[in-house]
Structure 1
Amino acid sequence: MRSMQGRVVASSGNKTVAVEVTRLAPHPKYKRRVRKKKKFQAHDPDNQFQIGDFVQLEKSRPISKTKTFLAVPLPVKSKKEKKAEGGEEASSSDLGIPLESQQQELQA
Structure 2
Amino acid sequence: MAVKERVGVVVSDKMEKTVVVAIESRTTHPRYGKIVVRTKRYKAHDEENQCNVGDQVRIQETRPMSKTKRWAVVDILTRAVKA
Q: TM-score, normalised by structure 2?
A: 0.81
Which structure is higher in helix share?
A: 1
Q: Give the structure 2 partner of residue 21 of structure 1.
A: 23
The answer to whether 1:58 aligns with 2:60 is yes
For 1:54 and 1:75, locate their aligned partners in 2 and report how far apart those are by CA, in whole Å.
5
Map of 1:3-18 to 2, 5 A cutoff? 3-18=5-20
Check the 8 A contact 2:10/2:53 in 1, yes or no.
yes
Deviations along 1:32-72, one digit per CA (max 9) or x if unpaired, are: 32211111100001101011100011000000000000012
Q: Secondary structure at the match of 2:30?
A: coil
Question: Who wins on radius of gyration, i.e. which is larger?
Answer: 1
Q: TM-score, normalised by structure 1?
A: 0.63
Unaligned runs of 5+ in 2: 79-83
Unaligned runs of 5+ in 1: 77-108
Equivalent pairs counted in the alignment come to 76
Root mean square deviation of aligned Cα: 1.7
Instruction: Find runs of 4+ consecutive structure 1 residues off by over 4 angstroms.
Output: none
Higher relative contact order (CA 8 A, sep 6+): 2
Q: Secondary structure at the match of 1:40?
A: strand
Higher mean C-alpha deviation, range 24-33 or range 4-13: 24-33
Which structure is higher in strand share?
A: 2
